[in-house]
Structure 1
Amino acid sequence: MKIEPKITPIYQTSVFKFDDLNELEQYFGEPGSRYLYSRNGNPNSDELAEAVNKLEGGAGAVATGSGMAAIFAAILACCQAGDHVLCAADIYGGSSSLLNTELSRLGITVTYVPFEQLYELTDFVQPNTKLLLAETISNPLLRVADLRRLATECHRHGLKLVVDNTFASPVITRPLELGADISLHSVTKYISGHSDVTAGVAVAADEQTAARLKQIGVLYGLTLSPMESWLAVRGLKTLRLRMREHSHNALAVAEFLAQHPKVRQVYYPGLLDHPQHMLAMEQGAGLFGGMMSILLEDDAEVVNEFMRRSQRFPFAPSLAGVDSSLSYPLGTSHRYLTPEQQQGLGITVGLVRLSVGIEPIVDLLADLEHALD
């Protein structure tokens, strides 16, 4: 009986069988011809990596067990003990924690670059500097990096540009086309999109870096499991539709909140008064994503009351699912920054991050109006 499934089956197996030594030699002699052990590669994890690689226009990719694993793989693909990296000061708190607490133990040092100085790196570059890590749209204040300009500045100094493209997704921005060397994602977020997968992907612009990413994935055991890979691929198939709806809803929410007397500030690139609105328009093909932050009164009880009253935006410290949610950067993603760093970045008691889902917009607006009443 001939079986040709339309959808790739879940290869829920840790090992693959060989008939004889000839097939074993084929595995080592012809890379990619067959599978041996799921840490080394599995049809499902390869399918996810190849799908995101195609979306990003890369030369190769690796699917990992989380977004943090993708960041780790990207940095190790470019660095070794004794090297120095630059990191945008506006960055996900987990990224800075990885650099500060773990990679520092491996002898990789870091210097943080304020957003306003990203395009003039001369004062930050050291002889052993290897890369700059930045985000397309920063977490949590939604600042937009000019990736073409940033890539030009990095390459002028001989640095690799590694871009966390999670907030934008490849539907909005493709960093490799703008000169980045590695684009990475927490697949947990928009690519999977349904809050039921933990995964990551790192995509390289050149084959040598792509091979290094895959080697790191295998040797460090970062490879994503078959089931998670299958779920992520299923979610990826609706990414374009979801990003359009996320963006549509988020713009309506941002415009509503910008006029509300209880909201002191709205951080969303789709608003005309956002400092990088035109850049976001050009770099994002007219879509601005579903993420925003709002500034309420700097009073914990005001924030608590807002959280308690909202029914459509449950407090869940992640983002980008089809269902809306909210998060609290000061207490979750950026909890381990020093008070001075938090203050310098504008992460205060009243800052709340919203992940706007794809529910009917009238329901979201009514819920926010009630929560702010």
Structure 2
Amino acid sequence: MKSTLMRPGGLPASSSTPVVTPLMPSVVYASDTPDALDAQYAGQAPGYTYAREGHPNADVLARRIDALEGAEDGWIVGSGMAAVAAVLLGLTKAGDHVVGGDQLYGRSLRLMAEDLPRLGISTSLADVTDLASVEAALRPETRLVLIEVVSNPTLRIADLDGIAALCKARGVLLVVDNTFTTPRGVRPFDRGADVVLHSVTKLLAGHSDVTLGWVAAKDPALMEKMRIFAVTTGLTPSPFDCWLAERGLASFELRHERAQDTARRLADLLAGQAGIKRVIYPTRDDHPDRARAQSVLRGRGGNMMSFELDGGRAEANAFAAACAGVAFAPTLGDVGTTLSHPASSSHRALSAQAREAVGISEGFFRVSVGLEDPEALMASFDAGLAAVRAGAQ
């Protein structure tokens, strides 16, 4: 009797191909001979060896995001922060200097403030809306500049073209985290970026059920350094998450356009409401960087908006509790709208004075707009504002 423990002989032969990419969770891949394995490692033959070094679902997803960003040979990692780490730790060494935008994602700021200096890599922060601020932060040993095109959560617009020209003139790498903006807003490689990264977890995958990152570089040598770092340190993506993200990516452009249209309408509906101090959305006339938004984002505002209530934490609590149907959660890019309070989540590590310096008060909220009907969404926000007004009486 043949043992059921013997390895199967592979997939059944078929003259047709699956419409949906198969989920391939195998950790290991068998080769015919040592010579065949050598050929794979030498790049002379295609194939997979061990999932930490790459697997089919990750490669399928990477090629799809490559196409959106105008990239080649991007790499999928286990999270957005894994992508940031692959850049900052894979491309720098002790003695180097890194400049970051002063409103980067909180964990990116922590990595720069605490982990890079521990490894002998110095860091500085600069206002990326002000080219002079970035130029003043550069040093002879500056290796790279890390920016987000649209800041989190105040939605300021970086001087992308100016920073790209400055970095090129100084021989410094420009790295762009394009998570907030997405390729529908801007393709940083087309504007002079050397490295682009994403938290695929957010709008690209779009369903709050995936944790992944993507990173790509123009220079294959830089890409290889990041890939080796990711493989060595085990920044491995799950095949199942890659499979889910590919499914989500199929509707990305439709989701982005619907959410963007709703965000624009919601921003205009909120502006001028009693209890609202200010509304921030890139295409509004009162946005401080509107002209740059028209140029860099080509007039596209995206799905993110922010607003500030009159009042402080008590008013914020009242609004969040009464805003029925909107998840109060520190995330973005979901099919449903989410409400985030930076002072108690993404920027809680900053002092109140530091938050105020960048425009984040206790009454400040960030909104990741989803796919709901705009009128129904505004009704939820009206309920939140009514609770704020009731508490003020």
Instruction: Give TM-score, length-normalised by structure 2.
Output: 0.91
Which range moves more in the overlay, 302-311 or 71-80? 71-80
Following the alignment from structure 1 to structure 2, what is the Cα–Cα distance between the partners of residues 280 and 311? Answer: 32
For 1:136 and 1:225, the matched residues in 2 are separated by 28
Residue 239 (structure 2) pairs with residue 226 (structure 1): yes
Aligned match of 1:250:
263
Q: Which residue of 2 aligns with 1:179?
A: 192
Q: CA contact under 8 A between 2:129 and 2:159: conserved in structure 1?
A: no
| Greater Cα radius of gyration, structure 1 or 2 | 2
Match of 1:117 in 2: 130
Q: Distance in 2 between matches of 1:32 and 1:98?
A: 38
Instruction: Name the amino acid aligned to 2:378.
Output: L
Quick check: 1:206 aligned with 2:219? Answer: yes
Q: Deviations over 1:200-257 (max 9, x none)?
A: 1112122222222211211111121100111111111111111111110000000011
Question: What are the within-5 Å matches in structure 2 for residues 233-312 of structure 1?
Answer: 233-312=246-325
Cα separation, partners in 2 of 1:118 and 1:92, compared to 1, 3 Å = farther
CA distance in 1, matches of 2:129, 2:157: 11
1:215 corresponds to which of 202, 206, 228? 228
Q: Percent identity?
A: 38
Aligned partner of 1:149: which letter? G
Q: What is the identity, as a one-letter code, of the residue corresponding to 1:168?
A: T
Q: Are 1:120 and 1:153, in contact at CA under 8 Å, matched by a contact in 2?
A: no
How many Å separate the matches in 2 of 1:116 and 1:46?
Answer: 35
Aligned to 1:149: 162
Check the 8 A contact 2:151/2:157 in 1, yes or no.
yes
Letter in 2 for 1:266: V
Equivalent position SS for 1:264: strand
Could you tell me whether the CA contact under 8 Å between 1:45 and 1:223 is conserved in 2? no
**For 1:133-158, what per-residue CA distance to the aligned partner results, in whole angstroms no more than 9, with x for missing partners?**
11011001001113122100122222
Q: CA RMSD in A?
A: 1.5
- The residue number in structure 1 matching 2:353 is 340
Query: Residue 177 of structure 2 aligns to which amino acid in structure 1?
Result: D
CA distance in 1, matches of 2:218, 2:117: 26
Q: TM-score, normalised by structure 1?
A: 0.96
Match of 1:87 in 2: 100
What SS does structure 1 have at the residue aligned with 2:327? coil
The answer to whether the Cα contact below 8 Å between 1:60 and 1:211 also exists between their aligned partners in 2 is no
| Displacement after TM superposition at 1:116 (Å) | 4.5
- Structure 1 residues 50-65: aligned runs within 5 Å: 50-65=63-78
Distance 1:103 1:288 in 2: 33
One-letter identity of the residue aligned with 1:183: V
Instruction: Give SS of 1:330's match.
Output: helix
- Give the stretch that moved more between structures: 242-251 or 99-108: 99-108
Q: Does 1:326 align with 2:344?
A: no
Q: Supply the distance in 1 between the matched residues of 2:128 and 2:163 (Cα, whole angstroms).
A: 11
Bigger Cα displacement from structure 2, 311-320 vs 273-282: 273-282
Q: Which moved more, 1:72-81 or 1:279-288?
A: 279-288
Partner of 2:34: 21
Query: Is 247-256 or 195-204 further displaced after alignment?
Result: 195-204
Shift of 1:120: 5.1
Query: In the alignment, does 2:381 pair up with 1:368?
Result: yes
How far the C-alpha of 1:32 sits from its partner, in A, is 6.4
Deviation by residue 1:68-104 (Cα, 9 ceiling, x = unmatched):
1111111223311121111111211111011112222
Cα distance in 1 for partners of 2:208, 2:276 equals 28
Classify the secondary structure of the residue corresponding to 1:17: coil
Aligned residue for 1:96, secondary structure, equals: helix
What CA deviation, in whole Å up to 9, does each residue of 1:27-49 have, x standing for no partner?
12226600000000001111112
Find out whether 1:99 has 2:112 as its counterpart: yes
Q: 1: CA distance between counterparts of 2:141 and 2:239?
A: 38
Decide whether the 8 Å contact of 1:85 with 1:130 is kept in 2. Answer: yes
| 1:338/1:370 CA distance change after superposition, 3 Å | closer
Change in 2 beyond 3 A, CA 1:32/1:367: farther
Ranges of 4+ aligned residues in structure 1 off by more than 2 Å:
29-32, 114-123, 281-287, 337-341
Count, aligned residues: 373
What is the alpha-carbon distance in structure 2 between the residues aligned to residue 303 and residue 32 of structure 1?
A: 58
> 2 CA distance for matches of 1:356 and 1:94?
22
In 1, are the aligned partners of 2:306 and 2:364 still within 8 Å (CA)?
yes
Q: Is the 8 A contact 1:60 1:205 kept in 2?
A: no
Structure 1 residue matching 2:76: 3-state secondary structure: strand
What letter corresponds to residue 12 of structure 1 in structure 2? P
CA contact (8 A) 2:149 2:176 kept: yes
> Could you say which structure has the greater relative contact order, defined with CA pairs below 8 angstroms and 6 or more residues apart?
1
Partner of 2:370: 357
Cα pair distance change 1:119/1:4, threshold 3 Å:
farther
Q: Take 2:360 and 2:347, find their aligned partners in 1: how far apart are those partners? A: 8
5+ unaligned residues in a row in structure 1: which ranges? none
Does structure 2 conserve the Cα–Cα contact (< 8 Å) formed by 1:186 and 1:199? yes
Deviations 1:323-359, CA, capped at 9 Å, x for gaps = 0010111111111123332121111111111111011
CA contact (8 A) 1:171 1:239 kept: no
CA distance in 1 between partners of 2:261 and 2:357 (Å): 31
Matched residue, 2:47: 34
Match of residue 189 from structure 1: 202
